[in-house]
């Protein structure tokens, strides 16, 4: 959810394009940044290829790097923090940040605008208008203009900056999830007492449904999720079916095999 929200809120065309064309955000981002520099074709950025990046001298698989580092970079993680996260050198961490900023300028501008807003007003907002307040930050931002070098104020100032884009992006994703939960709860009540919304795990919902569930009802469940809000890019959800926690099979497999996906005890059949 968060990369989709970021792509929408920043209106960065290069972040939005994979979602509009059915591409892979992390592969497309890696190709954009590293493709020409390392003379690599798109298929060589897929995780299935675990050799080309080593031969080219990249510090880590580029798709995995972008999957881990994209949001961290947007959330103002330092070069040192990124190097620790990606297991790369501090210099490579700074290069990753610089590459991202230069190749996704609209996303970078969104981050800068968000930080400038919180400096001026002392709070930031989600897409739905909820405020994340940062007490005293406004006065600290005014004072920091006259500070030179590292000071406790500078540390406090930077700490807020590392939270702003996170608060806006992650906060909006949480709001969308809450809308989806309300829609799902209404659907469960409409379908009957055997249908229950059990729990949420980050951006996933756990439902209890009868064995007689139909293809049409699966579609209703999907629509309750992806119809939660309209963004500039489509929302997407995956459905998995299980009888025991974590013993799940993709919906496509369940529709082909039905209950034979599981044994009598509910374990997934290999």
* 30-84 confidence digits (pLDDT tens): 999 999 999 999 999 999 999 999 999 998 999 999 999 988 998 888 899 999 9
Q: Quick one: 240 and 166 in the same domain? A: no
Confidence at 238, pLDDT banded by 50, 70, 90: very high
Percentage of the chain surpassing pLDDT 70? 98
The answer on 227 and 106 residing in a single domain is no
Same domain assignment for residues 53 and 151: yes
267 CB neighbour count, 10 Å cutoff: 12
Q: How many domains does the chain have?
A: 2
Supply the pTM of this predicted model: 0.88
User: Same domain for 117 and 235?
Assistant: no
Count CA atoms within 13 Å of residue 178 on its CB side. 7
202 pLDDT higher than 80:
yes
d(CA 153, CA 262): 59
Domain finish residue from 173, 204, 221: 173
**180 and 162 housed in the same domain:** no
Is the same domain home to 166 and 226?
A: no
pLDDT of residue 104: 93
For residue 179, is pLDDT > 90? yes
Q: How far apart are CA 45 and CA 23, in angstroms?
A: 13
Residue 4 in tokens: 């989709």
Cα–Cα separations (whole angstroms), residue 214 to 211, 219, 220, 221, 255:
9, 9, 10, 11, 9
Q: pLDDT tens-digit profile of 242-255?
A: 999 999 999 999 99
Contact 243, 269 (CB under 8 A): no
Length of the chain as a residue count: 270
Which residue range is the domain that position 163 belongs to?
Answer: 2-173
Which pLDDT value is given to residue 39? 95
pLDDT of 270? 83
Residues 164 and 33 in one domain: yes
Closest CA to 25 of 250, 233, 240: 233
Whether residues 14 and 111 fall in one domain = yes
Calculate mean pLDDT across residues 125-149. Answer: 87
pLDDT value at position 147?
65
The overall average pLDDT reported for the chain is: 93
Of 140, 173, 206, the position where a domain reaches its end is: 173
**Which of 173, 204, 220 delimits the end of a domain?**
173
Residue 149, pLDDT > 70, answer: no
Residue 150 confidence (pLDDT): 59
CA gap 238, 108 in Å, rounded = 30
């Amino acid at each position: 959810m968060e990369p989709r929200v970021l792509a929408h809120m920043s209106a960065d065309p290069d972040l939005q394009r994979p979602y509009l064309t059915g591409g892979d955000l992390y592969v497309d981002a890696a190709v954009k940044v590293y493709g020409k520099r390392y003379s690599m074709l798109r298929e060589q950025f897929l995780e299935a290829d675990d050799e080309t990046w080593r031969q080219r001298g990249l510090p880590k698989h580029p798709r995995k790097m972008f999957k881990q580092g994209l949001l961290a970079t947007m959330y103002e993680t330092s070069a040192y923090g990124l190097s620790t996260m990606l297991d790369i050198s501090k210099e490579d961490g700074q290069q990753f940040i610089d590459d991202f900023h230069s190749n996704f300028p609209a996303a970078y501008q969104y981050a800068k605008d968000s930080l400038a807003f919180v400096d001026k007003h002392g709070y930031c907002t989600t897409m739905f208008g909820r405020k994340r307040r940062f007490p005293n930050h406004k006065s600290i931002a005014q004072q920091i203009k006259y500070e030179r070098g590292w000071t406790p104020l500078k540390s406090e100032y930077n700490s807020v900056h590392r939270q702003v884009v996170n608060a806006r992006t992650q906060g909006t994703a949480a709001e969308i999830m809450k809308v989806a939960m309300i829609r799902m709860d209404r659907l469960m009540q409409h379908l009957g007492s055997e249908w229950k919304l059990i729990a949420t795990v980050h951006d996933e919902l756990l439902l209890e449904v009868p064995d007689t569930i139909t293809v049409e009802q699966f579609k209703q469940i999907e629509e309750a999720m992806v119809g939660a809000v309209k963004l500039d890019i489509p929302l997407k959800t995956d459905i998995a079916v299980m009888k025991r926690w974590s013993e799940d099979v993709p919906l496509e497999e369940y529709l082909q095999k039905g209950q034979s996906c599981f044994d009598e005890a509910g374990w997934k059949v290999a």
